[in-house]
Chain A
Amino acid sequence: MSVRNREWPVALALAPALILILAPFVWLVVSSFKTEAEIGQADPFTWPADLMWRNYLDAWQIGGFGGLVGNSLINLIGVVLLSLITCAPAGYALAKIRFPGREWLFYAFILGLTVPVQAIVIPLYQVLFGLNLINTLTGIVLVQVSNGIPFGIFLMRSFFIGVPDDLIEAAKIDGASHLQILTKVFLPISTPAVQALVIISALSTWNDFFLPLIVLISPEVQTLPLGLVRFASTYASDYRLVFSGTVISFLPIILLYILMQRRFTEGLTQGAIKG
């Protein structure tokens, strides 16, 4: 089979699809540099006469994007760390230790994997309210970690199950405890699973909207997607602000992905396949 003779026809055929699918990004980036008058001409095929960097400056200040990005980062780091701390030991216990009640726990986690978070939102709000966690980043971190725990545990467990028991026996003879076996033997050889868990929990946290909408009420604690939605509805008629604010919201993650696309792709497919 010759490779070359079908590479370029296929690539050429895909080009229109590529243009259509990426058009929203290109249009927003180009429009975000236009003046209010240029946007008013309603012509998507023209370039701005001058690049209006001012739009970005105004949007950043008026929308308080610095604070939003900061909150989103705290949120993300908290969820990723706490997910690893909770899911790795639990996944290890489910994979490698036999104990009474394991069957029950298994089904309890499957239940949480299946029930959508929107379906438990009323009591969830009440629990958070009772614990004084409404409107706090601590609250959103705990809820998001709990929401991701079934997936994280099954991901770690399915990876750990493949590790030979001989390794455990050998480490036990050396006098290692289960916790030491987990941290010194299992985690170092489980990079793909850890990588998948980090990428999936980071991406879903960074992009989450529903839980922050419930938990984070005042602007000072809000995360990026929630803050952008508030900003875009407040300044709905000020297109240059909405456009540049929207670009601020999607550009960082896209640049990060382009830089690390191999790790992202590996992590996401591994996660979907093994989870």
Chain B
Amino acid sequence: MVIHQTPGSKVVAPLRDAPAVAGHTGGISARMSERRTTGAASTAGSSAGDARTALWLMAPALALYATFTLLPIAATFWLSFNSSAGFNTSASFVGFDNYAKAAQDPIVWKSLVHTFLWLAYHVVMAGGLGLLLALAVSRLRITQVFFRTAFFLPHLVSLAVVGVIWANIYDPFFGLLNTALTRIGLGAFTQGWLSDPALVLFSVNVASSWQGFGLYMLLFIAGLQNIDRSLYDAAEVDGANAFQKLIYVTLPGLREVTTFVVSLAMINGLKGFATVFVMTNGGPFYQSELITTYIYRLAFQSQNHGLAAVLCILLSLLAITITILFNRWRARLSQ
């Protein structure tokens, strides 16, 4: 058995044995520790022939990945230090000029603030709804599949289609929201949901969160099923009521899934683009502009590639930071 001893492997190794919901964004350290401690997973003894075979097996994936992912990552970095007036134009090295320009651009700061707000709305609304519904749905036996299936339906719809759906729901004159409010006598609450600068980011986020909560609900349900039944029996013997069982057994048992869902929701929020692009295109007055929509505007409409590349770097750094922070948190939780 070959164990790759790497500094820090001891810190993250316990994750492997935890019933962790490791995934897309959250499971990276779990994966790494798993690889380190199960070095023997690879068949012992590497020969030159094995190395060649491995290369052939990796080749199709690597060719695509190098061309359409790794090269663009490197090129984005390069672009951020060059000035370019658009596609098919020559670029010249300008050092940190683009970074300085980004720092002075008020829309960059606006889009950054909006992105953080957007993340917070999404985590609270989609994550929170997912948790509440999971707690309720997992109590059901006979109708569980029905409710789980029904609540999951919005997640199947493309965010672009969701944008079209909710743009119609928010339509001031014929949309579901204002017409329903008027009909049930709450006409005073009708709003210009997408035209009010103070409301627009929240309104659009409701659409994204409506689409997003279903997956978080499924993950929470899976997490609830992993909680040891005997803990509930023990709590009952101690005379705990339903609320105490929730506080002392269920929620602690969900800690790991919760960190995973929060990190997934944050990353999903960071990538948010389609609903804003479809419903408001960042408006009115940039009040729903996100980093992603501003990148699109700079790259494909105003052809300011240097500034766009700086925002791309910023977006990547945010994603990497969130991923690392949550992996640390998860590692500490499982100690």
Q: Which residues of A approach B to under 8 Å, CB–CB? A: 3, 6-7, 10-11, 13-14, 17-18, 21-25, 27-28, 39-40, 42-45, 85-87, 89-90, 92-100, 102, 105-106, 108-127, 129, 142-143, 145-147, 149-151, 153-154, 158, 161, 165, 168-169, 177-179, 182, 203, 206-210, 213-214, 224-226, 228-229, 232, 239, 242-243, 246, 249-250, 253-254, 257-258, 261, 265, 268-269, 271-275
| Other-chain contact of A122, B25, B309, B320 (Cβ < 8 Å) | B309
B274 within 8 A of A: yes
Residues of B within 8 A of A90 (CB): 57-58, 60-62
CA distance A249 to B145 in the complex (A): 25
A-B contact list, 5 entries, CB within 8 Å: A42-B174, A86-B61, A99-B51, A99-B55, A126-B75
Q: Which residues of B approach A to under 8 Å, CB–CB? A: 21-25, 27-28, 31-32, 34-35, 38, 40-46, 50-51, 53-55, 57-58, 60-62, 64-65, 67-73, 75-76, 79, 87, 133, 136-137, 139-143, 145, 147-154, 156-161, 163-169, 173-174, 176, 179-180, 182-183, 210, 215, 218-219, 222, 264, 267, 270-271, 273-274, 277-278, 292, 295-296, 299-300, 305, 308-309, 312-313, 315-316, 319-320, 323
Given the interface pairs A114-B320, A125-B87, the reply to whether A249 lies near B158 with Cβ below 8 Å is yes
| Other-chain contact of A146, B58, B68, B169, B173 (Cβ < 8 Å) | B68
CA distance A15 to B185 in the complex (A): 22
CA distance A146 to B60 in the complex (A): 10
Q: Check A177 against B222 for contact (C-beta < 8 Å).
A: no
Q: Check B164 against A177 for contact (C-beta < 8 Å).
A: no
CA distance A226 to B159 in the complex (A): 11
- Which residue in chain B gives the minimum CB-CB distance to A42? B179
Residues of A within 8 A of B210 (CB): 21, 24
- Which residue in chain A gives the minimum CB-CB distance to B293? A118
- Which residue in chain A gives the minimum CB-CB distance to B27? A275
Residues of A within 8 A of B41 (CB): 95-96, 161, 165
CA distance A239 to B182 in the complex (A): 20
Q: Check A120 against B76 for contact (C-beta < 8 Å).
A: yes
Residues of B within 8 A of A42 (CB): 173-174, 179, 182
Chain B contact surface mostly? helix
- Which residue in chain B gives the minimum CB-CB distance to A262? B145
Residues of B within 8 A of A85 (CB): 60
Given the interface pairs A87-B61, A110-B28, the reply to whether A121 lies near B296 with Cβ below 8 Å is yes
Given the interface pairs A21-B154, A90-B58, the reply to whether A112 lies near B323 with Cβ below 8 Å is no
Q: Check B147 against A98 for contact (C-beta < 8 Å).
A: no
Shortest CB-to-CB span from B224 to chain A, Å, is 12
Residues of B within 8 A of A40 (CB): 174
| Other-chain contact of A161, B27, B34, B163, B271 (Cβ < 8 Å) | B34
Of listed B25, B72, B75, residue having the most chain A CB within 10 A: B72
Residues of B within 8 A of A95 (CB): 41-42
Shortest CB-to-CB span from B223 to chain A, Å, is 10
- Which residue in chain B gives the minimum CB-CB distance to A39? B174
Shortest CB-to-CB span from B7 to chain A, Å, is 14
Residues of B within 8 A of A45 (CB): 180, 183
Given the interface pairs A122-B309, A124-B68, A242-B168, the reply to whether A97 lies near B140 with Cβ below 8 Å is no
Q: Check A97 against B68 for contact (C-beta < 8 Å).
A: no
Q: Check B273 against A210 for contact (C-beta < 8 Å).
A: yes
Q: Check B50 against A118 for contact (C-beta < 8 Å).
A: no
| Other-chain contact of B316, A106, A119, A123, A246 (Cβ < 8 Å) | A119
CA distance A228 to B60 in the complex (A): 33
Q: Check B312 against A96 for contact (C-beta < 8 Å).
A: no
Q: Check A265 against B315 for contact (C-beta < 8 Å).
A: no
- Which residue in chain A gives the minimum CB-CB distance to B139? A10
Q: Check B87 against A126 for contact (C-beta < 8 Å).
A: yes
CA distance A156 to B3 in the complex (A): 22
Residues of B within 8 A of A21 (CB): 150-151, 154, 210
Given the interface pairs A27-B176, A90-B58, A225-B161, the reply to whether A161 lies near B183 with Cβ below 8 Å is no
- Which residue in chain B gives the minimum CB-CB distance to A275? B23
| Other-chain contact of B42, A96, A210, A214, A229 (Cβ < 8 Å) | A96
Shortest CB-to-CB span from B172 to chain A, Å, is 10
| Other-chain contact of B150, A22, A110, A146, A210 (Cβ < 8 Å) | A22
Shortest CB-to-CB span from B234 to chain A, Å, is 14
Residues of A within 8 A of B219 (CB): 269, 272
- Which residue in chain B gives the minimum CB-CB distance to A182? B57
| Other-chain contact of B160, A86, A87, A110, A225 (Cβ < 8 Å) | A225
CA distance A168 to B110 in the complex (A): 56
Shortest CB-to-CB span from A166 to chain B, Å, is 10
Residues of B within 8 A of A102 (CB): 54
Q: Check B164 against A242 for contact (C-beta < 8 Å).
A: yes
Residues of B within 8 A of A27 (CB): 169, 176
| Other-chain contact of A129, B25, B68, B87, B278 (Cβ < 8 Å) | B87
Q: Check A24 against B176 for contact (C-beta < 8 Å).
A: yes
CA distance A151 to B140 in the complex (A): 33
Q: Check A24 against B64 for contact (C-beta < 8 Å).
A: no
Of listed B46, B53, B141, residue having the most chain A CB within 10 A: B53
Residues of A within 8 A of B70 (CB): 108, 111-112
Shortest CB-to-CB span from A195 to chain B, Å, is 16
CA distance A111 to B64 in the complex (A): 15
